[in-house]
Amino acid sequence: MRQEIRIGIKPKFSQKYRSGYPLIEKEAIVNLGELNEEGILVKLVDEHQRFIAKGYYGRQNKGYGWVLTQKETEPIDQHFFLRKIEQALKARQAFYNDPETTAFRVFNGEGDGVGGVTIDYFDGYYLIQWYSEGIYTFKDDVIHGLQAAPHFKGIYEKKRFDSKGKYIEDDDFVTGTRAEFPLTVLENGVRFAINLNEGAMVGLFLDQRDVRNTIKNTYAQGKTVINMFSYTGAFSVCAALGGATKTTSVDVANRSLPKTIENFQLNAIDETTQAIIVEDVFKYFKYAVRKQLKFDMVILDPPSFARTKKHTFSVTKDYKNLLKEALEITEDQGIIVASTNNSSLSMGKFKSFIDTAFKESGASYRIEEEFSLPRDFRTIKEFEEGNYLKVVFVRKV
Ligand code: SAH
């Protein structure tokens, strides 16, 4: 039996947890000292010792664990996890049935009832990402829950928690049969190369699926497109397939060049007709301005925080200036696709950056489209910050 302890919730937080807030915050806890072992079950009680909720202790960069149930008598055992996983898989039925898409999220943490863990599907392979040592202690239960998952071939995992200041990157294979990498997956008929055993990122950010599809189907035809922070070139590939006259991909990481070529080739696009540039985007902006280069579409999807030799970029401090640089190389009537995955930034605040950037550049704009997380990235209304993705298509008019 797993140890269970009582955790006192401070009066001003108890209402929040009663209404279903799932993340157990450090500031809400009275008896922090008793949390000694990752993975123990915690019973949240108010100042009168009345039951509020049950969850587990696991330290992430945000929070001390997650609420799992508001029912006092519901056991947290193998059946609990099995049930949650079954429900989650069922909710993705439409994705499993779509022959054009073989990569999607099947379990999205608190959105599917268990915070701190996500599971993605890649053509028969299930990738579990663990966000704390605490949730990792439930590994056997989660793996058991996946045994009967559709088209099951095997399981890989990533431990995304800090262990002595370093993310653990060991062999990520767990069970089933081993995949041969790169795996080729389909997304709305587009092919992408996936590696489940090469560090934290697998080659494709599944949460941008709808954005990629929109660029391909609605915006790319006959346009010149520059993709900043292009990683493996996924946006560029979709733009090219959608009829862009030319794409330019810019990323500072050396690996982005072969990975982008690979994705173009998988889709029978001659990569020599496209530009793939390994460089700091801030340097490239200066070059493009000097050469008076202009693009019909500028895609901006930076990491929340990045440091290169010359530059530190943080979304909250620097996005406005990034937009101003982008504006200088955007054609009139052109589109800027502004994206961020920063959970601490609201859509309202993000749009205010856009508004200020255009004003300060003396340009006007019209918002054409907005995206947040796609359907497979289930979220709950009690945890708004879980819906972290914000993408805005802005037209310079
Ligand atoms: N837009 C991509 C994902 C971007 S991930 C997609 O949808 O697939 C962030 C990328 O930004 C990484 O590949 C990283 O190498 C790159 N990056 C970070 N700082 C950069 C900089 N200053 N210049 C260019 N690329 C940078």
CATH classification at residue 84: 3.30.750.80
Domain presence at residue 57: yes
On whether both 57 and 121 belong to a single domain, the answer is no
More confident residue, 354 or 315: 354
On whether both 280 and 223 belong to a single domain, the answer is yes
On whether both 210 and 239 belong to a single domain, the answer is yes
Question: What are the DSSP calls for 140-192, one per residue?
Answer: HHHHHHHTT-TT--EEEEEE-SEETTEE-----EEEEPPPPSSEEEEETTEEE
Domain presence at residue 59: yes
Domain presence at residue 154: yes
Domain presence at residue 193: no
Mutate to test the pocket of ligand 1, among 208, 250, 251 (most ligand atoms within 8 A of CB): 251
- CATH number where 55 lies: 2.30.130.10
Domain presence at residue 198: no
Residue in this structure with the two tokens 């070059």, named with its chain if needed? 287
Residue 88 has pLDDT above 90, yes or no: yes
On whether both 109 and 229 belong to a single domain, the answer is no
- Whole-angstrom Cα distance, residue 342 to residue 127? 23
Tell me which residue has its CA closest to atom 21 in ligand 1.
Answer: 280
- pLDDT tens, position by position, 252-302: 999 999 999 999 999 999 999 999 999 999 999 999 999 999 999 999 999
| 109: confidence class by pLDDT, cuts 50, 70, 90 | very high
- When divided into structural domains, the chain yields a total of 3
- pLDDT tens, position by position, 203-236: 999 999 999 999 999 999 999 999 999 999 999 9
On whether both 55 and 118 belong to a single domain, the answer is no
| 342: confidence class by pLDDT, cuts 50, 70, 90 | very high
Assign 55 to helix, strand or coil: strand
Ligand 1 centroid, distance to 233 Cα (angstroms)? 10
On whether both 175 and 213 belong to a single domain, the answer is no
Q: Report which ligand 1 atom has the smallest distance to the Cα of 339.
A: 1
Ligand 1 centroid, distance to 95 Cα (angstroms)? 28
| 326 in Cβ contact with 298 (< 8 Å) | yes
Q: What percent of the chain has pLDDT over 90?
A: 92
On whether both 163 and 280 belong to a single domain, the answer is no
Ligand 1 centroid, distance to 228 Cα (angstroms)? 7
- CATH number where 250 lies: 3.40.50.150
Phi, psi of 373 (to 5 degrees): -65, 145
On whether both 257 and 387 belong to a single domain, the answer is yes
Ligand 1 centroid, distance to 338 Cα (angstroms)? 14
- pLDDT the model gives residue 169: 60
- pLDDT the model gives residue 47: 96
* Ligand 1 site residues, Cβ closer than 6 angstroms: 205, 208, 229-232, 234-235, 250-253, 256, 280-282, 301, 303, 306, 308, 311
**Across all residues in the chain, what is the average pLDDT?**
96
What is the side-by-side strand order in the sheet with 41-45? 4-8, 41-45, 51-57, 65-69
Question: What are the DSSP calls for 106-128, one per residue?
Answer: EEEGGGGT-TTEEEEEETTEEEE
On whether both 167 and 223 belong to a single domain, the answer is no
Domain-terminating residue out of 51, 69, 87: 69
Tell me which residue has its CA closest to atom 19 in ligand 1.
Answer: 306
On whether both 287 and 359 belong to a single domain, the answer is yes
Ligand 1 centroid, distance to 253 Cα (angstroms)? 8
126-144 mean pLDDT? 97
Domain presence at residue 199: no
Instruction: Residue 14: give the domain boundaries.
Output: 4-69
Question: What are the DSSP calls for 79-94, one per residue?
Answer: HHHHHHHHHHHHHTHH
Domain presence at residue 200: no
Residue 62 has pLDDT above 90, yes or no: no
Distance of CA 374 to the CA centre of its chain: 10
On whether both 214 and 361 belong to a single domain, the answer is yes
- pLDDT the model gives residue 313: 85
Domain presence at residue 346: yes
Residue 167 has pLDDT above 90, yes or no: no
Ligand 1 centroid, distance to 24 Cα (angstroms)? 31
